[in-house]
Amino acid sequence: MNKDIEKGIKRLVIFFSICFFSIIGYLTYFNIFTADKIVTDPTNRRLAIYDNEYIRGSILDRNGKPIVTSKRNEKGTQDRTYTNGEAYAHVTGYSSYKYGKTGVELKYNDILQGRNFMYNVFGGMTKNIGDIITKKEKRGNDVCLTIDKATQERAYKAMGTDKGGVAAINPKTGEIIAMVSTPSFNPQNINENFDSLKNDERKPFINRAAQGYYPPGSVFKLVTTASFIENENQSLDRTFNCNGKLKIGNYTLIDQNNKSHGKINLKNAFKYSCNYTFGSIGMELGYDRLKDSAEKFMFNKDIPLNQDYDTINIKSGGISIGDKNDKAELAQNAIGQNKVAANPMTMALVTSAIANNGVMMKPYIVKEVKNPYGFKISETVPQELTESISRGTSDIIKDYMVETVKSGTGTNARIQGTTVAGKTGSAEDSSNNQSHSWFVAFAPAEDPQIAVAVIVENAGYGGGRAAEVARETIKAYLNK
């Protein structure tokens, strides 16, 4: 009998031991692999109750001007206010109890809520003591963007009802000054309008500035020019005989309006965007050398951000070819058609590298984080990403770009009292017979403070609509 009792006790001990260690194992697994995902899941309703304990922090522009703010309402919950929300929707994202969070609202959620440990090590004690003394409500941290409010809103206004995108970068630091995508949406009304926005054929949720994938057309001639200068040991005074049409077997590359430029050197070919010249250069360079040059400008490569949180996902430009020996394809690639694609952000990076003596900086959109009492908790320090071209090459292209705006195809971007450097582009849209309007620029040319890239879908000539938007964006930032 005693033996039976001992066996029973042993079985119970083994059973409870298995249960105990199973629970310990599950809790360990949960804490290591699952807990963080559940806690940070933007659709977690229980999280919203916990978050309401703190007033959510503000999202501010580079000068501390409010873009998104929160305050307690009569119900005891919070009202989140998006000032001019459509202009910033693809930067700030939205914060919704029904549909979760996106953009800065998602990536900096813990920091805005004040529950990120690393960001409270410095500010936590100050905050708690301050709350006791002032009896103020607990607040999250504020996220200060690199975005300039005046520039962002002017760029958005300039785009009007057109589809497209604008990206503006400080070429010396990599700070994203403006990022606009149209059509947009209002984060303020996301709960009411989500389904209609999701089904809208204009696709307002797509960030065209950073996630678009368009043929860049003639703005890609920046890359082709850089490749020619750095790879071809020839005088820049070499001339090409443009008759308006470059015949390559059964294919004919045509200049805009079949215009014949006659005998023309590289500088004037750039200034007047001569397809004959650049198609010829593309065939001379060959695919490998042009691709290598493009990859130095981060085509075909992931573009890392200079910050802890991947706030925006920049789709890198791409270049490929069907047949390396197909001269028609080589010529088309050289003028930004065929199998070349980009978006305003990738072209703004190309432009910023040229403006910054050939050095591309890592882009970033969050300048700093502050606690509710104004103490700086973190700050992004500019970092170099890559050297795309030599300083000598960048100086040559800068000169070409200045001439383009001064008296070439980019005169619509001229600003009185400021030297603007730019390049036009008209890219064929395979879905219809209309071309996309592109323009890239930086200013002031002598001491660049801003580099801009604009695409306006199906707006035709790049020296028209896109140049106008770029001009207004630059003027806003330089207070012109």
pLDDT at 292: 98
* Banded pLDDT at 127 (limits 50, 70, 90): very low
Task: Identify the band that residue 70 occupies on the pLDDT scale cut at 50, 70 and 90.
Answer: very high
Mean per-residue pLDDT of the chain: 90
Write down the pLDDT at residue 463: 85
Indicate the SS3 state at residue 120: helix
pLDDT recorded at residue 7: 67
pLDDT of residue 122: 45
The strand pairing partners of 139, in sequence order, are 55
Whether residue 81 is contained in a domain is answered as yes
124 part of a folded domain = yes
Give per-residue pLDDT as tens, 324-341. 999 999 999 999 999 999
CATH number at residue 135: 3.90.1310.10
Tell me, what's the pLDDT at 184? 98
Please, which residues have CB within 8 angstroms of residue 386's CB and are 6 or more apart in sequence? 296, 298, 359, 360
Domain-embedded: residue 22: no
Q: Are residues 347 and 442 in the same domain?
A: yes
CA distance 47 to 95: 13
Give the pLDDT band of residue 135 (cuts 50, 70, 90). Answer: low
- Specify if 287 maps to a domain: yes
pTM of the model: 0.87
For residues 179 and 147, the answer to whether their CB atoms sit within 8 Å is: yes
Within-domain flag for 38: no
- Is residue 136 domain-shared with residue 215, that is, in the same domain? no
- Boundary (domain end) residue, out of 82, 116, 145: 145
User: How many domains does the chain contain in total?
Assistant: 2
Whether the predicted pLDDT of 390 surpasses 90: yes
* 102 and 155 in a common domain: no
Give the CATH number, domain containing residue 334: 3.40.710.10
C-alpha span between 240 and 137 (Å, rounded): 71
Summarize pLDDT for 239-274 with one digit per residue, the tens: 999 998 999 999 999 987 778 999 999 999 999 999
Structural domain contains residue 37: no
The confidence score (pLDDT) of residue 458 equals 92
Q: How many residues can be counted in the chain?
A: 480
Whether residue 433 is found in the same domain as residue 467: yes
Q: Could you tell me if 168 and 202 lie in one domain?
A: yes
Residue 88 near residue 152 (C-beta atoms within 8 A): yes
**How much of the chain, in percent, has pLDDT values that exceed 90?**
76
Q: Which one has a higher pLDDT value, 232 or 363? A: 363
- Residue 111, token pair as written in the block: 């920091």
Cα gap 207→151, rounded to integer Å? 18
Which H helix or E strand runs over 143? strand 142-145
pLDDT tens string 140-165: 999 999 999 999 999 999 999 999 99
Residue 125 has pLDDT above 70, yes or no: no
pLDDT digits (tens, 9 = 90+) for 429-453: 777 778 999 999 999 999 999 999 9
Residues 135 and 155 in one domain: no
Instruction: Kindly state whether residues 140 and 272 are assigned to the same domain.
Output: no
pLDDT of residue 138: 87
State whether 76 and 181 are in the same domain.
no
Same domain, 221 and 164: yes
Band of residue 103 on the pLDDT scale cut at 50, 70, 90:
very high
Higher-confidence position of 255 and 356: 356
**Based on the domain organization, do 181 and 292 belong to the same domain?**
yes
pLDDT of residue 124: 46
Residue type (1 letter), 174? G
Quick one: pLDDT band at residue 10, thresholds 50, 70, 90? confident
Q: How confident is the model at residue 88 (pLDDT cuts 50, 70, 90)?
A: very high
The Cα-based distances of 289 to 272, 376, 438, 462, 474 in angstroms read 24, 46, 25, 27, 33
Q: What is the mean pLDDT of residues 92-116?
A: 92
Q: 294 burial class (0-12, 13-18, 19+ CB within 10 angstroms)?
A: buried
User: 166 and 280: one domain?
Assistant: yes
Q: Give the range of the structural domain holding residue 116, as residue numbers without chain letter.
A: 49-145
Q: How far apart are CA 238 and CA 281, in angstroms?
A: 12
Q: What is the pLDDT averaged over residues 357-379?
A: 96
Give the pLDDT mean for 455-468: 92
Range with the poorest average pLDDT among 18-27, 146-155, 222-231, 374-383? 18-27
Is 165 part of any domain?
A: yes
More confident residue, 114 or 175: 175
Task: Identify the pLDDT of residue 4.
Answer: 64
Write the CB contacts of 302 (distance below 8 Å, at least 6 apart in sequence): 316
* Residue whose C-alpha is closest to residue 338's, from 251, 412, 434: 251
In a domain, 33, yes or no: no
pLDDT at 299: 98
Higher pLDDT, 28 or 342: 342
Shared domain check, 107 and 174: no
